[in-house]
Amino acid sequence: MEDIALLTVAATLRGLKNREFSSVELSQALLNCIDAKDGQLQAYLKVDADYILKQAATADQRRAAGDDAPLLGLPIALKDVINVKGEGCSCASRMMEGYRSPFDATVAAKLRAAGVVFAGRTNMDEFAMGSSTESSAFQVTRNPHNLECVPGGSSGGSAAAVAGGEAIAALGTDTGGSIRQPASFCGCVGLKPSYGRVSRHGVAAYASSLDQVGPLTKSVEDAAILLRELAGYDPNDGTTLDIAVPDYASQLTGNMQGVRIGLPREYFIEGSDPEVTAAVLSAVEACRAAGAEIVDLSLPHTEYAIAVYYILANAEASANLARFDGVRYGHQTAAPGSVYDLYANSRAEGFGAEVKRRIILGTYVLSSGYYDAYYGKAQRARTLIREDYTRAFESCDVMMTPVAPTAAYKIGAATQDLLKIYLGDVFTVPASLAGICGISLPCGSTTDGLPIGLQVLGPAFGESRILSVAHAYEKIRDGR
Amino acid sequence: MSKYLITIGLETHVHLKTCTKMFCGCSTEFGSEPNTNVCPVCLGYPGALPVMNREAVKQCVIAGLMLGCEINHISTFDRKNYFYPDMSKNYQTTQQELPLCVGGGVTIDTPAGARLIRIHHIHQEEDAGKIIHYARHSGVDFNRCGMPLMEIVSEPDLTSPDEAMAYLHNLRQILVYAGVSECNLEEGNMRSDVNISVRPEGQAELGTRVEIKNMNTFKGIHAALKYEIERQLYVVRSGGRLVQETRRWESELGETQPMRTKENAHDYRYFPEPDLVPVVLSKDTVEEWRSALPELPAARRERMVREYNIPEYDAGVLADEKPNADFFEAAAAICGEAKILSNWFMTDVMCLISESGLTIEQCALTPGALAGLISLVTQGVINGPTAKELLPELFRQGGDPTALVESRGLAQVSDCGALQSYVDEVFAAHGRSVADFLAGKKAAAGFLTGQVMKLSQGKADPKVVNQMIAKKFAELS
């Protein structure tokens, strides 16, 4: 086995298929890695060695019996927001500490059918609300490139585990950048599929009209391999679309010739770290040199995206999180005197500060008398943002932008200035509002040695396109 | 004393007749053990998503078509947010902006003639669970949580408790005819919130509105309306001011009591349900459903008069409850004697229904058995009194009337030899009555007939007996 820290999904599947190593050997090696590193990184909330090795042994038996499921024996870490029957699903919240899922999320069921070994639950911002994984109720995950820095969020545990060599691949969720931004901060690949491409059934909801599950991996090819297994129509999620799922990996041509790359000028602005802008522009230049055509364009409503996002996402969250009331499951306050106490105390004790803040904001913007000014206006602005993209994609095939205005920042720095953190989502949020797809992949690093991410955006259900362009760039970058 | 106008509007929640809940595959069966018809979706577990029940949508649209509504070809769902332990998600998935059906109405008969009570709209939503209170704690049964409901919102067109009753009666009848609900009041299939206000005659705008929530018996609604109107009239007549509030009907006390005022009203923070895509109904689909609509009660009455040649009154009584009309038509198809059948049904069968508290569907009597019983009478196999004795048994225990008549030897005696000897015996034993008759007291003949019937143990054909007695007198005189 080559260095497990560098092992990709593609290489793992080859190794398993060719019997170079068994799933049990691989899983054990991975567990050793986690043992060695996670004390520092704290990427995982839970790693159950017996459970992992048991699944791996089953996978090995299946292979011995001639089973050839596409991901058979591949260990994948899951963000602790995805339900797996019988497993915990804490959402990094005291509210859900000790909870056991009664059912499989559709993505979990699909991966199970594909032969995956569920390899530990990764840390995250509480209920996926945050951009640094610092709002986790349980631990602070560290950036593998600098332990003083945050891994990004909310899927910070998944990104840190993959980038830190503690996972071959992981699943995250992205509502306003929660896959792409931590991938950028940690230096791995993160794919946010188009809204409706991957089922949300069984994934604890933050903002229903925005949430999507996607892979965090070490290569674009890996993201393509996993997306094929995750994507598709789900009768249990009415917002998924019945559009055929291609074999994404086979469509990675590596060809940059004639690709029209749009550069939205609103994404190259003062206020971004110049090192970040420079790295992205030099990636774009490399693509141009390889035959791409660069198109200058404008997405004029970008400036409203952050406000729109925090209104709509929090409004939906205020309803989505109402179910955590201490009545049926989750944290229940001791000896409540009344139904009101039961609700108020269970929620006061169970939720952290950021979750409470967003519930209160979301409740406010939906309140009688404020609905039109906030929610109604935000919905209209969302339509304008979506139309910006539709128009722009008439003149380009993909867009290239930074993922975030900065590289990873110091732990604790952000909590001082919340607004700055919210503004850090400025380049990821618009695509979420538009429902389009985007992928984040490394394109350089700062002088401090922190990774910088390149975001490739494509139209809704244009995953093949962004994967292909990202893969072509990856080859240029690595001189392959 | 100045005259006041009364304004009433109803919001009626009706359970639809689907096999599964509104957004999940759980059974809608009534009366199951608590919390057995539940799943992650209707229990509001994290990550569980709603899946639209197309059958519920269809039933709601059919109800709308039966009530003359326009159907919205694009219809959306919204979340209504409030915390209550019987609502697992702490929001109810309902329709606020674009309901399935708008407009339409229910025609009622009033002393001043027929009047259309307009419907504002019909929307679809999910029901809540049920809270059960014990001595020291409370429990929640989520079996009902997520059951499909439609809410039929009337315009404030009603002006008296009697009109409200007529509206509910006709509405219920149409929904049962539509086949979309049992409208079983005991099972809570049909519950209403009522809005009432009073205003002095001549005043254009409506008075202060009071809502009485969640009543499930027609009697209760009538009593609550009556009480509330009197209360409001008393307040305004004595110079007081009404407050906009929600009240509850306390049936045992026979009065309404305040629940919450406008200031304390919930802010439901409605917003579009992001987990459900809009329901899109093509014109073709709606027209296909429209073309297969069941008959309305009025149309059925007319058809029954035409087809069975029964009086309008009979058709009205029979068609009032769809199951009764179905039963009648099924029986008529077998025995062909529609008028006799309708007499039997309206008197004897309906009497048994009201005595037993069972419906025609719950009792053991089948259309075939009633038709058979009537055929036995019309063919002269048994006489009327025997048939009337058999009916309660058929109603309660069921069975085949022909077999019963045979096994118990109830066939009437029309053997003239046997009957003649009874007649002779009676004439011999009751010489006094014979003499009375001959002296002109015609009523004495009835007594003699009765005596013959008694001797025959009720099995004689009274018509034949009468003829024989008449013949005997003719011989004597």
- Write out the DSSP string of B87-156: STTSEEEE-SSS-SEE--EEEEEETTEEEEEEEEEEEEEE---EEEE-SS-EEEE-SSTT-EEEEEEE-S
Beta bridge partners of A458: A437
Q: Tell me how many domains chain B contains.
A: 3
Whether residue B182 sits in one domain with residue B67: yes
Distance CA B274, CA A320 (A): 10
CB contact under 8 A, A323 and B88: yes
Please name the member of B51, B89, B90 whose beta carbon is closest to the beta carbon of A236: B51
Q: Which of B271, B273, B277 to mutate to test the interface with A (most CBs of A within 10 A)?
A: B271
Distance CA A334, CA A355 (A): 21
Contacts of B42 (CB under 8 A, 6+ apart): B21, B23, B24, B26, B88, B142, B145, B146
Closest approach of A370 to chain B, Cα-based (Å):
10
Tell me if chain B has a CB within 8 Å of the CB of A40: no
Distance CA B143, CA B35 (A): 5
Rg of the Cα trace of chain A?
21
Long-range contacts (CB closer than 8 Å, 24 or more residues apart) made by A339-344: A339/B85, A343/B83
**What is the Cβ-side half-sphere exposure of residue A67, based on CA atoms within 13 angstroms?**
17
From chain B, pick out residues whose CB is under 8 angstroms from the CB of A328.
43-45, 88
Contacts of A437 (CB under 8 A, 6+ apart): A191, A192, A193, A194, A197, A431, A457, A458, A459, A460, A461, A462, A463, A466
Per-residue pLDDT tens listing for chain B (477 residues):
679 999 999 999 999 999 999 999 999 998 899 999 999 999 999 999 999 999 999 999 999 999 999 999 999 999 999 999 999 999 999 999 999 999 999 999 999 999 999 999 999 999 999 999 998 888 999 999 999 999 999 999 999 999 999 999 999 999 999 999 989 888 888 999 999 999 999 999 999 999 999 898 999 999 999 999 999 999 999 999 999 999 999 988 999 999 888 777 789 999 999 999 999 999 999 999 999 999 999 999 999 999 999 999 999 999 999 999 999 999 999 988 899 999 999 999 999 999 999 999 999 999 999 999 998 888 888 888 888 889 999 999 998 998 888 887 777 666 677 788 888 888 888 888 888 888 888 888 888 888 888 888 777 888 888 888 888 888 877
CA angle centred on B283, ends B279 and B286, rounded to 5°: 75
Among B34, B26, B91, CA closest to B276:
B91
Distance CA B226, CA A235 (A): 50
Distances (CA, A) of A310 to A304, A306, A358, A363, A445: 10, 6, 8, 12, 30
Determine phi and psi for A123, rounding to 5 degrees: -70, 160
A4-251: CATH topology is Amidase signature (AS) enzymes (3.90.1300)
Distance CA A84, CA A97 (A): 15
CB contact under 8 A, A83 and B47: yes
Look at residue B1 in the predicted model and tell me its pLDDT. 60
Number of CB atoms found within 10 A of residue B477's CB? 7
Whether residue B57 sits in one domain with residue B184: yes
Q: In the block, which residue shows the tokens 């024989």?
A: B468
From chain B, pick out residues whose CB is under 8 angstroms from the CB of A82.
47
Q: Given B217, B252, B285, which residue is the final one in a domain?
A: B285
The nearest alpha carbon in chain A to B138 belongs to A339
Does residue B317 fall inside a structural domain? yes
Please name the member of A200, A327, A366 whose beta carbon is closest to the beta carbon of B49: A200
Helix, strand, coil shares of chain B as percentages rounded to 5?
A: 40, 20, 35
From chain A, pick out residues whose CB is under 8 angstroms from the CB of B44.
323, 328
- Name residue B429's amino acid: A
Tell me if chain B has a CB within 8 Å of the CB of A255: no
Please name the member of B44, B45, B51 whose beta carbon is closest to the beta carbon of A238: B51
From chain B, pick out residues whose CB is under 8 angstroms from the CB of A378.
none
Among A216, A12, A248, CA closest to A117:
A12
Look at residue A139 in the predicted model and tell me its pLDDT. 98
Look at residue B413 in the predicted model and tell me its pLDDT. 67
Distance CA A75, CA A254 (A): 27
Please name the member of A327, A329, A366 whose beta carbon is closest to the beta carbon of B271: A366
CB contact under 8 A, A323 and B83: no
pLDDT along chain A (480 residues), means of 10: 86 97 97 97 98 98 96 98 97 97 98 97 98 97 98 97 98 98 98 98 98 98 98 97 97 94 95 95 98 98 96 98 96 91 96 97 94 95 98 98 96 80 92 98 97 98 98 94
Contacts of B426 (CB under 8 A, 6+ apart): B448, B451, B452, B455
Positions of A annotated as catalytic residues are 79, 154, 178
Look at residue B261 in the predicted model and tell me its pLDDT. 82
Does residue B279 fall inside a structural domain? yes
CB contact under 8 A, A327 and B79: no
Distance CA A229, CA A248 (A): 10
- Name residue A282's amino acid: S
Does residue B290 fall inside a structural domain? no
B348 DSSP assignment: I
Q: What is the 3-state secondary structure (H, E, C) of B166-193?
A: HHHHHHHHHHHHHCCCCCCCCCCCEEEE
CB contact under 8 A, A318 and B269: yes
Q: Given B365, B382, B408, which residue is the final one in a domain?
A: B408
Chain centroid to CA A426: 16
CB contact under 8 A, A236 and B83: no
CB contact under 8 A, B47 and A235: no
Closest approach of B76 to chain A, Cα-based (Å):
13
Tell me what ipTM this predicted complex has: 0.95
Look at residue A263 in the predicted model and tell me its pLDDT. 98
Whether residue B182 sits in one domain with residue B87: yes
Does residue B68 fall inside a structural domain? yes
Q: How buried is residue B316: exposed, middle or buried, by Cβ count under 10 Å (0-12/13-18/19+)?
A: middle
Long-range contacts (CB closer than 8 Å, 24 or more residues apart) made by B418-424: B418/B456, B419/B452, B419/B456, B419/B460, B419/B464, B419/B465, B419/B468, B420/B468, B422/B452, B422/B455, B422/B456, B422/B460, B422/B465, B423/B452, B423/B465, B423/B468, B423/B469, B423/B472, B424/B472
The nearest alpha carbon in chain A to B93 belongs to A319
- Name residue B326's amino acid: D
Interface of A with B in 308-367 (CB under 8 A): 315-316, 318-319, 322-325, 327-329, 339, 343, 363, 366-367
Name the residue ranges covered by the structural domains of chain A: 4-251
Look at residue A166 in the predicted model and tell me its pLDDT. 97
Whether residue B313 sits in one domain with residue B251: no
Does residue B169 fall inside a structural domain? yes
Tell me if chain A has a CB within 8 Å of the CB of B90: yes
Among A135, A130, A138, CA closest to A97:
A138
CB distance A450 to A382 below 8 Å: no
Q: Which of A210, A325, A341, A347 to mutate to test the interface with B (most CBs of B within 10 A)?
A: A325
The residue range of the domain holding B268 is: 4-285
Q: Given B408, B437, B452, which residue is the final one in a domain?
A: B408
B345 DSSP assignment: I
Q: How buried is residue B19: exposed, middle or buried, by Cβ count under 10 Å (0-12/13-18/19+)?
A: exposed
Whether residue B44 sits in one domain with residue B91: yes
Q: Is B469 helix (H, G, I), strand (E, B) or coil?
A: helix
Whether residue B318 sits in one domain with residue B216: no
Distance CA B376, CA B389 (A): 13
Distance CA A324, CA A315 (A): 16
Measure the N-to-C terminal CA separation of chain A; round to a whole number of Å. 22
